[in-house]
Structure 1
């Protein structure tokens, strides 16, 4: 017994001597902030055990606990790796635009088994090549064509909502809608896919995120061990296998279409074709599947979840919903919604942006510091991870008066000059921001405008504090919120 205690004490001393020796510069920097400095750094977990204090193991709970009890900036040790968490707009602007901060933070390693070779996680040099490759899939002429797709697909959803009235799970419902829009507008093979296959991809993405949300805050647990030995991991493995089979079928259908139709415009490739041709030196199917998985996930999770929050907020705020309705009827009336209508739907866009301010679908982003980063009053040492709590940045009263109030007028053209550009990051920011932000905003404006002119939306919720949030990569509520769609009088 004494020998065992002696060995434990010896190993503990060795760990801390090794830790201090290799992390002295980070300890010195974290001492300047002190916030979270005094939490004991434990082997295997660092200080991520503080997530247990929040009562729920997920990223949002951790951020909310920090905000309520300690505040930002906050020092966090992810095992023996230092992380600096901030919500300061000035610091954020420097971090996301710094040329040595384009690589993703260490925390993203948890997702490599799904997205390692995708544009989401590749290193900065590879990312630059891939971004240049994929940007052609988001040109203005493609956006114009897709507005027609979005409108027609939203009409189909309206027919469905006439009988559904209140979706059982509003997030899953709109995730399915968003993934269907992706396949209809971005793949060129929608006629070869059933609605079941499209929806299955969206369901798998949502289910895997639900399974993954606690893994992110458990640094000692590797994804490989989790996938092989934990019930949630084994379920995720099964889901990934199902997804892979569907993606293989999608790729095979696309390759077949391309062989049958050799005449196509080199500069007007859809996103699926861009995935097939992203790495000309390596035609590895797994890499193609990872690209497709990420793009499908980015569409369904982000836009789908955004729809859920938008309609819940409109249901909670009848006067704002009526302003959106009146604008839509004035600008569009009862005709089809077209691309040229979108610039005139200013209040509708403002309502969408205000929703994304209150509920940023990606609530946290992280960058790795490739060199010392000078923030003016402090210098973050090379090798640190900088995490930005977008959720708290966009609800900070320093930048947003009455921050928890749903007020679309903040984003009207006459008020936009009052907004600190670095305090709104709904589509991330800097060179590594969201490539599809214009497409996403167009889809949301078309869908919201079309739904609002046909339905009166209601919700029993009174305040946004009632909605308990959780997150893995993207954010949603713990339980599906109340949201009902009642048909207006016929136009």
Structure 2
């Protein structure tokens, strides 16, 4: 017994000596930050065990605990990887714009079994090539055509709401709608898939994130181990396979269609055609499927979640909802909504931006420092992970007076100069910002405008504080939200 105890003590001493020797530059920097450094570092775990001690089982709840108990900036060891967590807009600006801070933090490796070859996770050199290639799918000419598609799809949503009136789960309802919009406007394969199959892809995206939240905050648990031995992991594997088969089936039809066409516009390719072009020399369709699933996930999460939060907030604030209604009727009236109308829906856009301020769909960003990063007051050592809490940047009273008040006027054109740069990161920011932000915002604006001019929205929620939030890659409410739609009386 005594020998075993001595052996344990020896092993721990050896671990800490090796840890200090290997990570001295990070320990020195962490001491300079002086917040979170004194937590004991454990083998394989680092200091991420505080997520368990604090009751934080997902990223956003951990960030909320840090903000409440310690504040930012904060030091955290994710296994043996040092993390510097900040909410300072000046530091955010430096980090997201630095050419040697482009690659994703090791934390994102937990998602490689889903998105390994997609643009979200590939390394710097490959990412630059992919971004240059896929940006063609978001050209203004394509956006104009997609707005026509988004409007027609929003009209179908209006008809559905007339019969449904009160979706049981507004998030799942809006996510399904958003992923359908993506397949309609960006892939050209929706005609080969039933609405149930498309909705299945959206459900998988939502459900998988719910199942892997604990995986993300547990550094010693590898995805392979999780997928092989854990019931939740086995469920994730099955769901991924189902989604892949649906996408693979649609891709097969798209390939056949392109073979039959002798030519098509070089500058008018949709995202799926661009995915096929990029992978034409690769016989492995899995890489193409991962890219399509990534874009579908981005569409359903960003647009779907934002729509759900926007509808709920408008239901909570009737006076703001009426301002949106009045603007839509003044700008558009009862006619079809076109791309020419969107720039004039300024208050509607301000509502969406304020929604994203309070409820950023991606609550955190993580970047890896591939060289020392000078923040002005400190230098983050090479090899560190920089984690930005967007959620807290955008709710910081230092930059947002009365931060928990839903006030769209903050984002009206005459007030935008008052916004501190990088204190709002609604569609990410810097070199690796959201590729589809223009399309995403357009789809949300069209949908909100069409729904508000046809329905009055109500909600029993009273304040922002009452929402309990959870997150994996994206942020959702822990409980179903109350949101009801009733047809407006036409005069």
2:30 is the counterpart of 1:30: yes
SS in 1 for 2:28: helix
Structure 1 residues 67-78: aligned runs within 5 Å: 67-78=67-78
- Partner in structure 1 of residue 248 of structure 2: 248
Is residue 204–residue 243 contact of structure 2 (8 Å, CA) maintained in 1?
Answer: yes
Cross-structure match for 2:285: 285
Q: How does 1:316-395 map to 2 (within 5 A)?
A: 316-395=316-395
SS in 1 for 2:4: helix
User: CA–CA distance in 1 between the matches of 2:254 and 2:420?
Assistant: 44
Whole-angstrom CA distance in 2 between matches of 1:357 and 1:189: 34
Counting only pairs closer than 5 Å after superposition, residues 305-316 of structure 1 correspond to structure 2 as: 305-316=305-316
Corresponding position of 1:135:
135
- Cα deviation digits, residues 380-415 of structure 1 (max 9, x gap): 000000000000000011111111110000000000
Partner of 1:98: 98
1:141 shift after superposition:
0.7
Residues 53 and 65 in structure 1, CA contact (< 8 A), matched pair in contact too = no
Alignment length (residue pairs): 491
Q: Alignment partner of 1:423: what SS?
A: coil
Match of 2:408 in 1: 408
Q: Distance in 1 between matches of 2:54 and 2:167?
A: 30
Q: Distance in 2 between matches of 1:405 and 1:54?
A: 27
Q: Give, in whole Å, the separation in 1 of the partners of 2:280 and 2:329.
A: 48
* Superposed displacement of residue 261, structure 1: 1.5
The whole-number CA distance in structure 2 between the counterparts of 1:289 and 1:393 is 34
Contact 1:470 1:477 in 2 (8 A): yes
Equivalent-residue separation in structure 2 for 1:308 and 1:460 (angstroms) = 15
Deviation at 1:189, TM superposition (A): 2.3
1:290-301 → structure 2 map (5 Å cutoff): 290-301=290-301
Unaligned runs of 5+ in 2: none
Question: Which residue of 1 is the match for residue 64 of structure 2?
Answer: 64
CA contact (8 A) 2:189 2:251 kept: no
Distance in 2 (CA, whole Å) between partners of 1:347 and 1:53 is: 43
Partner of 1:396: 396
Counterparts of 1:110-149 in structure 2, within 5 Å, are 110-149=110-149
- Cα displacement (A) at 1:71: 0.2
1:457 alignment partner, SS class: strand
Contact 2:170 2:308 in 1 (8 A): yes
How far apart in 2 are the matches of 1:109 and 1:345?
Answer: 40
Shift of 1:208: 0.4
SS at match of 2:456: strand
Match of 1:13?
A: 13
Residue in 2 that maps onto 1:260: 260
1:478 and 2:473 aligned = no
1:231 aligns with 2:251: no
Matching residue of 2:460: 460
Moved over 3 A (4+): none
Partners of 2:425 and 2:403 lie apart in 1 by 15
- Tell me by how many angstroms 1:44 deviates: 1.4
Q: What is residue 450 of structure 2 aligned with on the other side?
A: 450
Q: How far did residue 213 of structure 1 move?
A: 1.0
Partners of 2:210 and 2:39 in 1: CA distance? 29
Matches of 2:66 and 2:178 in 1, distance apart? 33
| Aligned residues of 2:39 and 2:47 also touching (Cα < 8 A) | yes
The residue aligned with 1:154 is: 154
Pair 1:54–1:170, CA change in 2 (3 A): farther
Task: Quote the residue 2:186 is aligned against.
Answer: 186
Indicate if the aligned counterparts of 1:456 and 1:488 stay in contact, CA closer than 8 A: yes
Distance in 1 (CA, whole Å) between partners of 2:189 and 2:69 is: 51
Q: Deviations over 1:61-95 (max 9, x none)?
A: 10000010100000000011100000000000000
Supply the distance in 2 between the matched residues of 1:142 and 1:91 (Cα, whole angstroms). 35
The 1-side partners of 2:459 and 2:283 are apart by 49
Once the 2 structures are TM-superposed, how far is the Cα of residue 229 of structure 1 from its aligned partner? Answer: 0.5
CA contact (8 A) 2:190 2:250 kept: no
**RMSD between aligned residues:** 0.9
Alpha-carbon distance in structure 2 between the residues aligned to 1:5 and 1:53: 26
Larger mean CA deviation between 384-393 and 37-46 belongs to 37-46
Instruction: Pick which of 128-137 and 247-256 moved more.
Output: 247-256
Q: Structure 1 regions of 5+ residues with no counterpart?
A: none
- C-alpha distance in 2 between matches for 1:202 and 1:246: 11
Other structure's SS at 1:26 match: helix
Q: 1:188 & 1:279 partners in 2: Cα distance?
A: 17
Q: Would the aligned equivalents of 1:456 and 1:486 in 2 still touch at CA under 8 Å?
A: yes
Question: Within 5 A, what are the aligned runs for 1:187-226?
Answer: 187-226=187-226
TM-score (norm 1): 0.99
Cα deviation, 1:293-340, whole Å, max 9, x if unaligned, reads 111111111110111100010001111001000000111111111110
- 1:282 Cα offset (Å): 2.4
1:280: Cα distance to partner?
4.5
Report Cα offsets for 1:400-433 as digits up to 9, x if no partner.
Answer: 1111110000000000011122111111000110
Equivalent residues of 1:186, 1:271 under 8 A apart? yes
